[in-house]
Amino acid sequence: MNILLLGYGKMGQLIGQLSESRGHSIAGKINIDNRDDLTSLDPGTIDVAIEFSQPEAAVENIKWAIDRGIPVISGTTGWLDQKPEIEQLALASDGAFFYASNYSIGVNIFFKVNEFLAKLMNETTGYKSSVVEIHHTAKKDAPSGTAITLAEGIIKNIKGLKEWNLSEDASENEHLLPITSKRKDPAPGTHIIRYSSEIDDIELTHTAHSRQGFALGAILVAEWIQGKKGVLSMDDFLSF
């Protein structure tokens, strides 16, 4: 498989290394400094594009791939207000677009456990829910895409919660789910779901030890997406 890397920061570099170790080839390594190199690439020789860039570059990167009939897998967060536009473009072009806020298999299991716990907590009273995410200082967006996915899973299953907000304390509004974002090094990613009451706290935690799980998950999706069409997600890949 011939893979185009759209974004070549720490994540893109690791994806490149792991891809080659699995027998794949790298068609190009594109970042903000060499984006003009896209003009010299032959789209017909590229099997898939894996896009881990920056929020301000993600939309144009994804459009470039879709417009050229290249299946694209994106893991960039912080641009999702434009995601419906990208999805419509992929469908209109009969292309393949895959987005996940997190490609780690463990995190996606964590998403399901989070929703199951939220359903249980919906049947109880006296608990206030919150989300905490901790990442390295180079991460630009806050909250993390993974934290937003977790928050959405809680809101969907607990009556009365309407939306999340980036705040350490939303106790004054029972309809808001607070997300706290912390930045410190080294921290590949920790997410904590907390239900607090006067009697006790219940916590659910996922801690990443490295970026390798995220990178490998993206490569596995790239291998899986060959021949597929449409707007796809980790639920499609994992078939929960």
User: Are 188 and 210 within 8 A, CB to CB?
Assistant: yes
Q: Is 139 a catalytic residue?
A: yes
Alpha helices, DSSP H, located in the chain: 10-21, 55-67, 83-92, 105-121, 145-157, 212-224, 234-238
Query: How far apart, in whole angstroms, are the C-alpha atoms of residue 100 and residue 20?
Result: 22
- Catalytic hit among 24, 135, 191, 206: 135
Q: Is 135 a catalytic residue?
A: yes
- Catalytic hit among 29, 128, 136, 139: 139
**What is the end-to-end Cα distance of the chain in Å, rounded?**
26
CA distances from 73 to 53, 109, 159 (A): 11, 20, 33
Indicate which residues carry an active-site annotation: 135, 139
